Each structure stands twice: as C-alpha cells, then as structure tokens.
A and B are shown apart, each in its own frame.
Chain A
Amino acid sequence: MSDILSIENLTRRFGGLYAVNDVSFTVRENEILSVIGPNGAGKSTLFKLISSFLKPTSGRVMLQGEKISGLAPHIVARKGVVRTFQETTIFRNMTVRENVIIAHHLQSEASLFGYFAGSANARSDVRKFGQSADDILTLLNLDSVAYEMASNLPHGSLRALGIAIGLATNARVLLLDEPFAGMNHEETMRTVNMVQGVRDRGVTVLLVEHDMAAVMKISDRIVVLNFGEKIAEGTSTEIQNDERVIEAYLGIEDESIGL
C-alpha cells in the first residue's frame, strides 16, 4: 500500500501551549488509522490541522506529494480530505436525506447558474445525488429516517449521519473525530461495521476515538499522542504492549482504557 498522507513535523502552538508538537507519521492508502491519547492530547487539533481548519505553527501536511496545509478548508475538501466533527455537527433544519444530498456538493457538474436555470447537467446532478444519497443512507442504516428532520434524530443516528455526510463528499481521506462517543456497546459495534463499510468503498479512514475496544478491533494501525507529542505508532498488539503508552494511560489512572 502506498502512502496517501504524510504528516511532517507538524506543530501547533496556542500561546505557550504546544497542542501538537513535532508530530510526524504517514497514512497508507485505504487503511483505518486511529489516533488515540488522553484528553487534551491534541487529537482534535491534529485533525483540524490536517483538514486545514487550523494553520500549523510549523511543519506541513502532504497529500500524495502535494502540500495541503495552509490551503482554505473547502479547497482541502475538494482535494479529498474531509473532516467530520467531534460535536454532532449536521445541518439541523434539513431532512436527513437533504443533509446527505447537499454533501455531494463537490461532485456537481453544473454551475450555480445552471442550477438556477435548470440546465441538463443540473437535472442529472439532482438525479445522481438523490440516488447516491439513498445508497449511503442504506449503508448506514438511515434509510428509515431519511425524511426526518435531522434535529429530531437520536444521538446514535446523528453520528451515523455525520459519517454519511463525510461519505457523500466522496472523500478519499475521511477524518472521523470520536464517531462512537456517547454510544452504547451495541451501537458502537454497528458503527464499527459502518466504518469498515466505508473503508471497503475505497476510503482511507483516520479516526480519533476513546473506546479502546472499538479502536483495537477496527484499526490497521494506531498512533498515540500524549501532551501533543507522538509517543508510539504501530498495530494494536504493538501499542498494547508499548511501555510508554501504558505509562501515559496509567499516569492519568484512567481505568476505562482497558489495557
């Protein structure tokens, strides 16, 4: 597998605080790579840097040899790197299906004016996006609530909708920030399957997650952050036996880690 993303000496400072400190690693094409670490380790900041919602203090992010850090977020999205949000960020006052349809924005072939005038391209876009949205909704078990207002969805479905939105962008690299947060075991396992389904569609998935069981089950590789620094990188087994990782987690006496 070739590398799709390379994170090179990435640093982001907030005042005197190094939220992300000289982090380097590569992401291979079509893998599921998890970023873990205690609260405040810099995981969300790292995702914001990769999706270019934040500018790095130093270092850079390369997408197949092209520098993407410093570009506007919508350009980075256009190049195929899309982040979903830690919070349940969706378009609340649209239906579930509309949320997914609008996320197809980057694939539209008609211009804004074309849509206004109802050009042939615009009409075929509308048809294609509707179909693709229905496919995605089925994949993520959202088809039964397709015409619900998004704001009415239960928590678990909101996360799924977040993933659906990410998928609809046709991203090559999808960054999922805590997709399993607030889910019970059963919901988590279902969502784990969904994420694997996403990968099977050819998408490279980066995820931040706290649920260690899920992370160990789903990840091809894991990167561990602590106080903004990368302290380990490897497969589930390697990470579980890594001295520094154990130390970092034991250091904060978090029993839920389950190492």
Chain B
Amino acid sequence: MGIEHNSDGSSKAKPAGSSLAATSLKIVGALLFAAFVLILVPMLINGAERWDLYYTLTSVALLSIASAGVWLTFYIGRINIGQAAYALIGGYVSAILVVDYGVSFWWTLPLAGLTCAVISVFVGLPILRLRGVYFAMVTLVFTEVAKMAALALPITHGASGIANIPLPGALEIFGLTLIPDFNTLENSRYAFYILSVTLMLLCYFMMYRLVNSRMGRLCYSLQQNEELASSIGVNITYLRLVAYAISSFLGGIGGAIFAAISQSVYPSSFAVADSINFMLNCFLGGLGYVLGPMLGTFVLYFGWDWLFQTGKYQLLIFSSVLIALMLILPNGLLSIRLWGKKS
C-alpha cells in the first residue's frame, strides 16, 4: 500500500489512472514492508536480545490502529479528540467479557470494536453536526465522561479496575488451532507483537482501499464542502456516522488488545492525554496521507521515549519540536516526499 492519497494533488497532466506499473510497485512495497515488520524486525530483536522492544513496537502498532480511526474523522473534516474514550470502552468490554463471563478473548476482540461502533452512533448522532472547535471540545469532554463512567458503573468495578486478565487462550475453529494458547508460549510478547502488527497491516490496507474507493471520495467531499455534498445527493448525516463508527471501531480494537497485553484495565488506562496524542499522530504524519498516522505514531512514540534522557526538559523539548515541525511541515512528515518529487 504505502502510497499517499493524492489530495494536495499537484497533478497537472492527465494521470494515467493507477497504471499497472504503479499498482505493482505499491503491492511490492506493501509486501516488503509486511515482511520487514513480521520477519526481519523479530529477527533483529532476537539477535540483539532486546525483548523490551517487542512491547514498545506492539504499543506503536496498537496506537497507530487507534490513530488511523482518528485520521478518518479528520478526513470527513472533524477534529476528533475523543478516541481514548473508545480505546477505554474497548478495553473494558474485552476485560469484562473475559474475566466476568469467561468469553474467549478472540470473540471479545471484534465485540469490543462493535460495541464502540454502536456507542459511537448514539454519540455521533447529536455531535457530528458540530464542526471545528465545537466538535473537538465535545469529543474531549467525552473522553472524560468515559473515565467517569468507568469509575462509577458497577460493571467496570470502579477505581480498582480489572486486574488479573488471563492471557488469550487458543483460537480453534472445527478443532483446528488457528492461534495457540498464549499461556503455552514461551514468549507471549512475540505473539502479541505479531498479532498487533498483523492487525495494523490489515487496518491500513483496508483504510487505503476505503480512501481510494468512492466512499473515500465522498468522505473527502464532506471535508471540502458539506453543503455542496448534500446538494449533489450525498446523505451527509449517514456518511459522517459511518466514518465515525469505523473510527471508533478501530479505537475499541486497539484498547481491547492493550488490556489483554497489560492484563489489566483501569479508568485511567486511556485519558485525555491519549486522545490528544492520537490526534497529534495524525497531524505529525500528515492528514493527507493514509500512512500519516502510522508514521506519526512511530515518530511521536519513539521521540518521546528518546527525550526521556533530558529529564525535566522532556516535555518542553518535545512540545517545541512538535510545534516547530508543524510550522515547517504543515502537511505532515510525509509531505517531505512531495517536495523531493517537485524539485
């Protein structure tokens, strides 16, 4: 996948559609990237015996799934600072089903996503009419509401949260073991890494298809001009809801796996700061590129970690660099490539 969506489009000449050569190049690029993260990276990690990197990279993969959702709401012209709420809900749905009802983790994963999608329809119905700062503010508040709810509801076990979540069991279909029981693995970190990275690849592949399909064009038309979109017959209310539901689904999936890895979920597991980070990931990588949030998450996560050595100046340096980057590269890190092309 890996090719930016042509939105800053500097295309003057008649583009030859997606020619065969360009398409095969994309496919090769995508396969290489998949091989890199699924095979080469684990080999390097094992070679260097840096097992901690599994956890770090798994986090990046999961956060980038949630960020992809936020990116999609940007794509319909909404600033979404509420994704942490869905990550939290997803985490709780999975944890509650696994711990209190003995459901297999593998079932709770899609259920976590779906629950978030359904909730987002009810939340989105009233708030998606809002635009700009108003929508952003409401979603921010929603993050806080989700936390309050987790504190107050009996089913979420209040402030003590849900600890001691068992590792995912085996996934068997017709007696065939598709995924082994994580408890029997000597390295469950590796298993979580493969799971998360696979889902990340799947997520971005789907996102790429979506954005380059008619639905993507319609979403983009909303970003450009909702009134005109509705006058050419686009059901803007419906489309906004669909995009927001997909976004929230991804938040829920990310949250559910996070809960499984850390084997716990608390009301503070995902907070306002996470919502803001999801949004920053999109900004940093580039709102015009499907792969923007993936790159943004990676850079932001490692950038923050790396600045840890600066001690109390960590936040100051981090924020300054971020502001500088946004001023220099308003279209995100991926826009650097376009510069190269133009010259």
Residues of B with C-beta under 8 A to A146: 14
Most buried by A among B11, B221, B232, B237: B232
Give the number of A-B contacts (CB < 8 Å): 96
When each residue 86-129 of chain A gets 1 if its CB lies under 8 Å from chain B and 0 otherwise, what string results?
Answer: 00011111110010011101101010100110100010011000
- Asked if B235 is an interface residue, CB under 8 A from chain A, the answer is yes
- Asked if B328 is an interface residue, CB under 8 A from chain A, the answer is no
When each residue 277-296 of chain B gets 1 if its CB lies under 8 Å from chain A and 0 otherwise, what string results?
Answer: 00000000000000000000
Whether B230 and A102, one on each chain, are in contact in the complex, defined by CB atoms closer than 8 angstroms, is no
Residues of B with C-beta under 8 A to A147: 11-15
Whether B230 and A74, one on each chain, are in contact in the complex, defined by CB atoms closer than 8 angstroms, is yes
Shortest beta-carbon distance from B17 to chain A in Å = 9
Given contacts A102-B218, A112-B242, A116-B215, contact A93 B232 (CB under 8 A): no
The stretch of A61-69, A76-84, A198-206, A212-220 that contacts the partner chain: A76-84
Whether B231 and A77, one on each chain, are in contact in the complex, defined by CB atoms closer than 8 angstroms, is yes
Residues of B with C-beta under 8 A to A95: 9, 11
Whether A115 and B214, one on each chain, are in contact in the complex, defined by CB atoms closer than 8 angstroms, is yes
- Asked if A37 is an interface residue, CB under 8 A from chain B, the answer is no
Whether B231 and A83, one on each chain, are in contact in the complex, defined by CB atoms closer than 8 angstroms, is yes
Whether B232 and A82, one on each chain, are in contact in the complex, defined by CB atoms closer than 8 angstroms, is yes
Whether B7 and A93, one on each chain, are in contact in the complex, defined by CB atoms closer than 8 angstroms, is yes
- Asked if A73 is an interface residue, CB under 8 A from chain B, the answer is yes
- Asked if B305 is an interface residue, CB under 8 A from chain A, the answer is no
Cα A95 to Cα B228 with chains together (Å)? 16
Shortest beta-carbon distance from B220 to chain A in Å = 7
Can you list 5 pairs linking A and B with CB atoms under 8 Å apart?
A74-B235, A82-B231, A85-B227, A89-B228, A169-B232
Other than A72-B235, A85-B231, A116-B215, give 13 A-B pairs with Cβ distance below 8 A. Answer: A82-B231, A85-B227, A92-B224, A93-B9, A94-B220, A94-B221, A94-B224, A105-B234, A115-B213, A116-B210, A118-B213, A122-B213, A147-B14
**A interface, CB within 8 angstroms of B:** 51, 53, 72-74, 77-78, 82-85, 89-95, 98, 101-103, 105-106, 108, 110, 112, 115-116, 118, 122, 125-126, 146-149, 165, 168-169
